[in-house]
Amino acid sequence: MSVDRAQPVSSLPVRIRATAPTVQHWAFWGEKPRVIAYCLLTESIAAFLTVTLLLRSPVAGRDLLILIALLGLGVLQAELGRQVERLRRRVSGVAHINMTSVWIFAGVLVLPPAMTAILTATLYLHLGVRSWYKLQKTPVWRTTSNAAVLVLTCFASYSVLAMFGVNGMSGAIELGWAGAGIVGLTMLAHFVANALLVIPARDTVVRTAKGLFGGPMDNMLELATLCLGALNALTLAIMPGLTVLVLPPLLILHRGVLVKQLEAAATTDSKTGVLNTAGWHTRAEVALARAQQQQRTFGTLMIDLDRFKRINDTYGHLAGDAVLRAVAATIRNEVRERDIVGRFGGEEFVVLLPDIGESDVTAVAERIRIGIALLSVEVPETLRPTMIDELSASIGVAMYPDSGVELQRLLDAADTALYTAKNNGRNQVVRVGDLAVAQPRLAS
């Protein structure tokens, strides 16, 4: 008893407050109201449907064994691929596509809905604790929201099976080819529902196909895991002991995806997300070869922010980085998805626009110039946020083949036009065809 009296009574509560913030201080409440509302709604619906279905459907012994098997294999796969997954997520930043579909979609085809929801929640709990806890991009509330969305995705997949009156994989096997088609439709419904349900939970919704649904590699990974999930369910229905054979190809697929993402990261500018110098040149050389072969034109833009050094000197380099990210986003929003956007270091960007005429290239350049001029970038400071506006950019335009038939000649021509724009007062677009005499370079 004396030990209890000797220990300060307040020490334990203080330690708890220091490590576990109270509910009102959760980072979740700092999100946008629509994100908060959507996450709470999906989590409530997922929990309500799971509990309701669990109470209405008795748990069969065979289903419980399958649940334990899928859960054990899912945990084992996550443990074996934990380091790969951490590195993959640091590289890609993708939060809603992972390898759990191999087990969860198999659960859709062989388990009752409530048990698949339990499988999903448990696998995500394990992933959150063991694989993602060191990743700042994946906070606890985001993991919880992703799990709830995936539970609702599974329920949507069950609705397809119910619509055709098919009792999972065993019922599909009895129908032969028709059953295979129904499983395929269920897989498609799962893929589409997951992609759509996750969109409202994002902080920023980019209105492009890649921004909404991810890149080709991410979607190919999701489809591959769904296919393995269907084969996994088939194995569980016919010869359950062979389901462990899914693990080796899954781990190899996981590592192969990481290699591809590392290759992509090597050609990406870490500050802005556009291509770096090496990545841009590689893509541009391919575009040049295609234009030469097909006898087509393309435009090249050299974009340089005006007086960018003053931003770094006044607000600091972190503020300058925020401006560069905003400018890169503006450029990408004003060009097509197939156009090639890169950063050549400092405050200089370059864009290659294939299959386009000179007048259209100039129009794109003007849209970019106006978009940058309209930017207002918020930069957090210690006491209060600062808005950086009154930005401007000078842009040089060169056309293939009029301004050169080699990539470096085109870049030199666009660069000359760019610095003519700066000499003429900045914040303007100059085409190579408008040049009379090359102007000397000035400081930005």
Element (H, E) at 398: strand 393-400
Q: Which of 309, 310, 334, 311 is nearest to 322 (CA)?
A: 311
Q: Which of 28, 45, 32, 34 is nearest to 150 (CA)?
A: 45
Q: Hey, which of 93-107, 371-385, 410-424 has the most confident mean pLDDT? A: 410-424
Range 59-76 average pLDDT? 91
The residue with greater pLDDT, 425 or 9, is 425
Helices (H) and strands (E) in the chain, counts: 18, 7
Confidence of residue 46 (pLDDT cuts 50, 70, 90): very high
The tokens 């992703």 sit on which residue?
146
Range 369-398 average pLDDT? 84
Residue-wise pLDDT tens digits, 309-349: 888 888 888 888 999 999 999 999 999 989 999 999 889 99
Is the pLDDT at 6 greater than 80, yes or no?
no
Asked whether the beta carbons of 69 and 117 are under 8 A apart, the reply is no
**Lowest pLDDT segment from 120-134, 201-215, 217-231:** 201-215
Q: What is the pLDDT of residue 206?
A: 55
Range 69-74 average pLDDT? 92
Is the pLDDT at 437 greater than 50, yes or no?
no
**Lowest pLDDT segment from 8-17, 44-53, 196-205, 354-363:** 8-17
Range 212-217 average pLDDT? 64
69, 211, 355 from 38: Cα distances, Å? 33, 19, 42
Q: Hey, which of 263-277, 325-339, 378-392 has the most confident mean pLDDT? A: 325-339
Write the CB contacts of 15 (distance below 8 Å, at least 6 apart in sequence). none
The residue with greater pLDDT, 374 or 224, is 374
Confidence of residue 421 (pLDDT cuts 50, 70, 90): very high
Q: Cα–Cα distance between 50 and 114 in angstroms, integer?
A: 5
Asked whether the beta carbons of 52 and 104 are under 8 A apart, the reply is no
Residue-wise pLDDT tens digits, 87-97: 666 655 544 45
**pTM to 2 decimals?**
0.61
Q: Cα–Cα distance between 204 and 79 in angstroms, integer?
A: 31
**Lowest pLDDT segment from 11-25, 188-202, 225-239, 368-382:** 11-25
Q: Which residue(s) pair with 388 in the sheet?
A: 377
From 3.40.50.620, 1.10.20.140, 3.30.70.270, 3.40.640.10, which CATH number describes the 277-434 domain?
Answer: 3.30.70.270
Range 273-289 average pLDDT? 91
Tokens of 393: 């950019």
Confidence of residue 299 (pLDDT cuts 50, 70, 90): very high
Range 419-434 average pLDDT? 89
> Is the omega angle on the peptide bond into residue 401 within 30 degrees of 0, that is, cis?
yes
Q: What is the pLDDT of residue 417?
A: 94
Confidence of residue 389 (pLDDT cuts 50, 70, 90): confident
Q: Which of 119, 99, 121, 102 is nearest to 111 (CA)?
A: 119
Confidence of residue 11 (pLDDT cuts 50, 70, 90): very low
Report the chain's mean pLDDT, rounded to a whole number: 82
Confidence of residue 208 (pLDDT cuts 50, 70, 90): low
Q: Cα–Cα distance between 291 and 355 in angstroms, integer?
A: 8
Q: How many CB atoms sit inside 10 A of residue 396's CB?
A: 27
Tokens of 136: 């700042």
Q: What is the pLDDT of residue 248?
A: 85
Q: Cα–Cα distance between 42 and 201 in angstroms, integer?
A: 10
Q: What is the pLDDT of residue 7?
A: 41
DSSP assignment of 324-352 equals HHHHHHHHHHHS-TTSEEEE-STTEEEEE
Q: Cα–Cα distance between 257 and 297 in angstroms, integer?
A: 35
Element (H, E) at 377: strand 377-379
Confidence of residue 207 (pLDDT cuts 50, 70, 90): low
Q: Cα–Cα distance between 167 and 175 in angstroms, integer?
A: 11
Q: Cα–Cα distance between 303 and 44 in angstroms, integer?
A: 48
Looking only at the bridges linking them, the beta strands covering 348-354 and 377-379 are unpaired
Element (H, E) at 394: strand 393-400
Confidence of residue 9 (pLDDT cuts 50, 70, 90): very low
Q: What is the pLDDT of residue 8?
A: 41
Domain boundaries, the chain: 23-263, 277-434
Torsion, Cα of 76, 78, 83, 86 (10° steps): -170
DSSP assignment of 281-309 equals HHHHHHHHHHHHHHT--EEEEEEEETTHH
